[in-house]
Amino acid sequence: MADDPLSITFAALADPTRRAILARLADGAATVKELSEPFAMSGPAVSKHLRVLERAGLITRGRDAQWRPCTLDATPLREVTEWADDFRRFWDDSYRRLDSYLDRMKEQEDDH
């Protein structure tokens, strides 16, 4: 896997379980046990996913006495958003050109 942050973030986001974990953490901190509940997998399997997310900088794991909360850190997602924004502009421009073309076609049809 490439060492650049964007590649690491995309690799972490590639798995639907990890995306679901991030979605859950968007609601607030949770323990590994709480994050494991919706999945048919063991705590160690969820911990493995958490390590991938942690290496990507998408979560942090703390320690509060016996409670080890995981929290979302969405900072790496900003780079994903910036990267994807170029494509959003591409599609916006494409749709504007299509709208313009369809308007011209409608005008020609109305003229006949």
Q: Using one digit for the tens of pLDDT, what is the confidence trace for 35-92?
A: 999 998 888 899 899 999 999 999 999 876 677 899 999 999 999 999 998 888 888 8
CATH architecture of residue range(s) 5-111: Orthogonal Bundle (1.10)
User: How do residues 1-16 score in pLDDT, each as one tens digit?
Assistant: 468 899 999 999 999 9
Task: Give the E-state strand segments of the chain in sequence order.
Answer: 59-61, 70-72
Phi, psi (deg, nearest 5) at residue 19: -65, -40
pTM above 0.95, yes or no: no
